[in-house]
Amino acid sequence: MQNSNQMKKLLISIFMMLSCVVMAKAEETILPYEIYGAGTGVQGSYVVEVIVTSKKSNVSDTELVKSAIHGVLFKGFFNDELRQSQKPLVTSSLAEQQYADFFKEFFAGSYKNYGQALSGSRRVTKVNKEYKIKMTVTVYKDQLRKDLEAVGVVSGLNTGF
Amino acid sequence: MKKLFLLLTIVAFFPVAMLGQAKKPTIMVIPSDVWCNENGLMVTIDNMGNTDYIPDYEQAVLNADLMGAITKINGLMAERGMPLKDLSQTMKSIKEDQVIRDQTMSNSSGATVAVTTKDMLLDRAKADIIIEVGWQLHKRGPQKELTYSLRALDAYTNKQIAENSGTMPPSYSSTVPVLLEEAVLEKMDGFVSQLLAFFDDLFANGREISVRLLVFDGTGVSLENEYDGEELTDIIDNWMYENTVSHRYNLSNATEYRLDFEQVRIPLYDERGRAMDARRFINNLRRYLKDAPYNITSKNTTSGLGKAELILGEK
C-alpha cells in the first residue's frame, strides 16, 4: 500500500514536471503565421492582422499577440489595398540569432506588454486538416523600439552621437 | 582573480570612455521646391541676366498644412532622440540677428559690427541634413488622394540618403491635415530606418565630406609648384591617402589653382579622441603645408560639418 502511494506521488511529480516543460516549450515556440497591415494606428502603434496556422482551433489570444509582435520585429508587413508597407523593426537579419538568449526570454513572457488583441476580431476557419486563426492586434511599436534600444538590440537615431 | 577581472574590464573600456562623441548632424525639415512652386511660393531673382527661382520659406512657414506636417515630423524625430532645427524659428532668428547686428555700435567710436559678404551669405536657413517634404492632393470624384514624399539630402555631398514616398488610400471625408498626419505616421518608420542605415555607414566607414583647395590670386602659389621634384597636387594627394579612412577619397578636379576631392571619408575622432569634422580635418592639412619644406600659409574657410575649403597663399 505504501509502495503504491509512493508510486502515485512519483508519477504525479513526473507529470507535473513534464507539463511545466511542455508549457515552457509552448511559450517559446512561435506558430506559423502570416502578418498584414490593418490600417494606421494611433501614434506609436501599428495595427496588424495576424493569421496563425495550427492543428488546434483553441490557440490563445496571447499566442496570436506573440506572433504579431514577432512579425513586427522580424518580418515587417504590407497591405496592398491600404497601401501600407513597414519594414521589420529589427533591421539586422542576424539579430535574432545574435540575441537568441534575449529573445528566448522576451517571448517567454515580457512580449505581452507590447501588444493587445482587438476584442471581437478573432475569426477561425478550417482549411483541410488545419485551422487558420485570424485576429487584429495593436502593437505598441514605439515602446517596443525604445526598450530594444535601451538593451542595445537595435540602434537608435542618436546612438553614437 | 576579482582584481584581474576588474583591471581587464577597465582596460577594455578605457579607450571607449576616452573617446568624445561624434558630432551630431543638424537636421531641418523644409518644403520641397516642387511643393513651393505648386503653391506659388517661389520668388524670382535676376542673376546677372538669368532668371532664377528660389523658394520663399518666409511665406511658406505661414502655410498651416505645411507647418502641421513639419511639426509632426519634428515631434516624431525628437521622440527618437534626434531633435530637429525648426524652419520657422530659424527664419525668425536670422531676421532678429540681422536687426540686432545693424543696431549694434561701439560705445567709444560708434563703429558698427563688421560683416563680410560671406557672413551675409551664411545668414540663411541651413542644416547638415535637409529633409524635404511635399505632397499633392488629387481628387477622384468625391474621393481625395494624397501623394506624399519625404526625402533626406546630405547638404554637403548632395546625396539622397533616405526617401519614402507613396500615395495614401483614397478618402471621402478626411481633411488635408488629417490625411497628412496619417501619411507622416505611416511613412516615418521606413524613412528613419534608411537614416539609421546612413548613420551606421557613417560609424563604420567614417564621415563623408568634400574638400576644395583654392589659391589666392597673386600670391605666387600654384598647385603645380614642385618640392623635391614632386608637384604640390601630388603632395596633397598623398596626404589625403594617408589621412582618410581606408584611403577612401576621389580627386575629381585638379587644375593649377584648384583641387576638388569628393567622397572623402574622414575618421569620426582625431588622435586625441575629439570629434572630427571637416574644419578639424582640413586644419591638419593646413598645419602640414605650413611646415617646412612647403611653408605655405593658408586660410581655412570651412563652414559646416561636411564641406572643407582651404585657400592657399595667405590668411
In angstroms, rounded to a whole number, what is the distance separating the alpha carbons of residues B152 and B84?
A: 13
- Give the least confident one: B115-129, B215-229, B281-295: B115-129
A91 vs B contacts (CB less than 8 Å): 193, 196-197
Asked if A116 contacts A137 with a C-beta cutoff of 8 angstroms, the reply is yes
A82 vs B contacts (CB less than 8 Å): 169
On the question of pLDDT at B114 being above 80, the answer is no
pLDDT for position A28: 57
Contacts of A102 (CB under 8 A, 6+ apart): A151, A153
pLDDT by residue (tens digit) across B163-179?
A: 999 898 888 878 888 88
Q: What is the mean pLDDT of each run of 10 residues along chain A (161 residues)?
A: 65 54 54 93 93 94 95 94 90 86 92 94 94 96 93 86 78
DSSP state for residue B223 in the 8-state scheme:
T
Kindly state the average pLDDT of the residues B135-148. 90
pLDDT for position A20: 43
CA dihedral B107, B109, B113, B116 (to 10 degrees): -170
In angstroms, rounded to a whole number, what is the distance separating the alpha carbons of residues B19 and A29?
A: 42
Half-sphere exposure of B192 (CA within 13 A, CB side): 26
In angstroms, rounded to a whole number, what is the distance separating the alpha carbons of residues A91 and A76?
A: 10
pLDDT for position B14: 41
pLDDT by residue (tens digit) across B246-273?
A: 999 999 999 999 999 999 999 988 888 8
| Beta-carbon separation of A158 and B21 below 8 A | no
C-alpha cell read off for A74: 522580424
pLDDT by residue (tens digit) across B201-248?
A: 888 899 899 999 999 999 999 999 999 999 999 999 999 999 999 999
pLDDT by residue (tens digit) across B60-71?
A: 999 999 999 999
ipTM > 0.90 for the complex? no
In angstroms, rounded to a whole number, what is the distance separating the alpha carbons of residues B135 and B150?
A: 9
In angstroms, rounded to a whole number, what is the distance separating the alpha carbons of residues B234 and B13?
A: 40
| Beta-carbon separation of B168 and A85 below 8 A | no
Q: Kindly report the nearest CA distance between residue B297 and chain A, in angstroms.
A: 34
**CB pairs < 8 Å spanning A and B:** 49
Kindly state the average pLDDT of the residues B131-156. 90
pLDDT for position B22: 74
pLDDT for position A21: 44
Could you give phi then psi for residue B305, rounded to 5 degrees?
Answer: -75, -30
**Does A7 or B160 have the greater pLDDT score?**
B160
In angstroms, rounded to a whole number, what is the distance separating the alpha carbons of residues B228 and B286?
A: 19
DSSP β-bridge partners for residue B160: B153
pLDDT by residue (tens digit) across B73-94?
A: 999 999 888 889 998 898 888 8
pLDDT for position A51: 97
Among B73, B39, B74, smallest CA distance to B56 is for: B39
**A85 touches B: beta carbon within 8 Å:** yes
Residue A122 three-state SS: coil
Is B27-88+115-204 CATH 3.40.50?
Answer: yes
**Does B196 or B108 have the greater pLDDT score?**
B196
Could you give phi then psi for residue B264, rounded to 5 degrees?
Answer: -85, 120
